[in-house]
Amino acid sequence: MTLQEQIRANRLKSAIVVFGFVLLLLVLAALIGFAFDISLGVIAVVGAVAYGIFALVRSRSMVSRLTGAQEVAPEAIRPLRRLVENVSIAAGLPVTPEVRIVEDAAPNAFAAGLRPQTSYVGVTTGLLATMPQRELEAVLAHEVSHIRNRDTYLMTMALVFAGVIALIADIGFRSIAYGGRSRRGGVIVLVLALVGFLLAPYAALLLRLSLSRRREFLADAGAAEMLNDPEAMALALRRLERNSTTIAYADASTAHLWVESPTDRLDSDRRGVLALSSLFNTHPPMQSRIEALEEAGGFRLPEELPSGESFGVEHGLVHA
């Protein structure tokens, strides 16, 4: 597939997944409605959606806290700031996102914010110390791509959706367990509802994770297109893959934000080689991301990564 086709396919799949979320929410509401009362189903959904909106509003400051990203004066990181400006222009973004720094030796980067105007890109000091300019630019383009595609928005929504569904399922489950006489309907309906409430949170989690994996492919393709250089993106991914430092802020709730999953390495040790385990990853395997880029760009990555001074060292942003 060409990059253009990949982007189209990814968008379609994302739309299907979002549709799945809405469907799941409706099924839950119907279950509550059947088992108890229609009005209770409506109240549960309205309440949960209100909670979701509150979570959405609070999300921006929460991400910063969870990742440990620090605001830095633009003058202090001018060369980095310029790179971000350049990829934002190439992406056609109306504004250049702010840049924040995470003090962490593990090379990684993320994007956050609900709208391009309020978005920011976070990079670790480890990333600056590892990546030469060409690859750093690709990583930044990947993050800016997330912002342009509204992935940061979509993934926050998905996270909130998953939370909302878990909340409703929990309410439903408890109502059946402790509801006493308010129950309606036969045994079959109740059993169905019980199973539904138990499984719904997992279904939501799987949907969220598959959405997250889709968006990673899309951002890789977007970055390659923006820079007209699929090889740079692939090289950057390979370098991230080979680097085995794990991030201190490995936290499942923000795992989907990063360019390379900060938790997968921990998880894969824990889970062994279960084929099913890939369903629970926020990111597709590095190898398939690199292969997608190789196929689109028509090249093969060399075994040896190009050696050279890292951008951070070259511009005195970090110490070697």
Partner 1 sequence: MLWLWILIGVVALVALFAVVGYNRLVRLRNEVDTGWANIDVQLQRRADLIPNLVETVRAYAAHERGVFEEVTRARAALQQAGTPGTAADANEGLTIAIGRLFAVAEAYPELKASESFLQLHEDLTDTEDKISAARRYYNATVMRFNTAVQSIPWLLVASPLGFHAREFFSARGDTALPQVSFGY
For residues 239 and 125, give the distance between their C-alpha atoms in angstroms, rounded to a whole number: 15
Nearest to 141 by CA among 76, 197, 73, 83: 83
Looking at the Cβ atoms of 9 and 194, the one nearer to partner 1 is: 9
Query: Of 98, 135, 143, 216, which one is the catalytic site residue?
Result: 143
The contact pattern for partner 1, residues 110-149, with x = CB under 8 A and - = no contact, is ----------------------------------------
Check binding of 84 to partner 1 (CB under 8 A): no
Contacts to partner 1 from residues 222-251, by CB under 8 A: 224-228
Q: In angstroms, give the least distance from the CB of 129 to partner 1.
A: 23
Return the structure tokens found at 102: 């995470």
- Select the residue interacting with partner 1 from 91, 131, 232, 240 (CB under 8 A): 91
Contact 152, 146 (CB under 8 A): yes
Q: How many residues bind partner 1 (CB under 8 A)?
A: 20
Return the structure tokens found at 181: 């006489």
Contact 93, 149 (CB under 8 A): no
Check binding of 316 to partner 1 (CB under 8 A): no
Check binding of 8 to partner 1 (CB under 8 A): yes
DSSP state of 182: G
Coil/strand/helix, residue 17: helix
Name the one residue in this structure whose structure tokens are 């383009």: 141
Contact 289, 222 (CB under 8 A): no
143 is an active site residue: yes
Q: In angstroms, give the least distance from the CB of 4 to partner 1.
A: 5
Q: In angstroms, give the least distance from the CB of 82 to partner 1.
A: 6
Bridge partner list, 101 = 70, 123
For residue 238, give the H/E element and its range.
helix 230-242
- Select the residue interacting with partner 1 from 107, 196, 262, 297 (CB under 8 A): 297
- Select the residue interacting with partner 1 from 90, 129, 190, 194 (CB under 8 A): 90
Contact 165, 22 (CB under 8 A): no
Taking CB under 8 A as the binding criterion, the range among 194-202, 220-228, 271-279, 281-289 that sits at the site for partner 1 is: 220-228
For residues 258 and 250, give the distance between their C-alpha atoms in angstroms, rounded to a whole number: 10
Looking at the Cβ atoms of 86 and 243, the one nearer to partner 1 is: 86
Q: Which residues bind partner 1 (CB under 8 A)?
A: 2-4, 7-8, 82, 85-87, 89-92, 221, 224-228, 297
Residues with a catalytic annotation lie at: 143
